[in-house]
């Protein structure tokens, strides 16, 4: 079983990093100017600006 990729307010951050707010169907719906937060491992995710949103770790662009 893989690691969770989307987190709800109150969840604990599994790893340090920058997390951004995503829509309920984040794979095809992007939020304009999403809220970004920086958390350390074990810190709690804050509330989102909308009950249908979640937090997702920002990914770095892969360069080949």
The pLDDT tens digits of the residues spanning 23-59 come to 866 555 567 788 999 999 999 999 999 888 999 998 8
Say what the pLDDT of residue 1 is: 59
pTM of the model: 0.79
Residue 58 near residue 19 (C-beta atoms within 8 A):
yes
Say what the pLDDT of residue 30 is: 66
**Which pair of structure tokens corresponds to residue 17?**
């990093």
Per-residue pLDDT band for 2 (boundaries 50, 70, 90) equals: confident
Say what the pLDDT of residue 31 is: 74
Domain boundaries, given as residue ranges, for the chain: 1-59
Please, what sign has the CA dihedral across residues 47, 49, 51, 57? Answer: negative
Q: Of 49, 58, 47, nearest to 20 (Cα)?
A: 58
């Amino acid at each position: 079983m893989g690691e969770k990729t989307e987190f709800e307010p109150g969840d604990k951050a599994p790893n340090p990093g920058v997390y951004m707010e995503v829509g309920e169907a984040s794979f095809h719906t992007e939020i304009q100017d999403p809220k970004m937060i920086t958390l350390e491992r074990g810190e709690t995710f804050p509330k989102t600006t909308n009950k249908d949103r979640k937090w997702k770790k920002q990914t770095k662009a892969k360069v080949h």
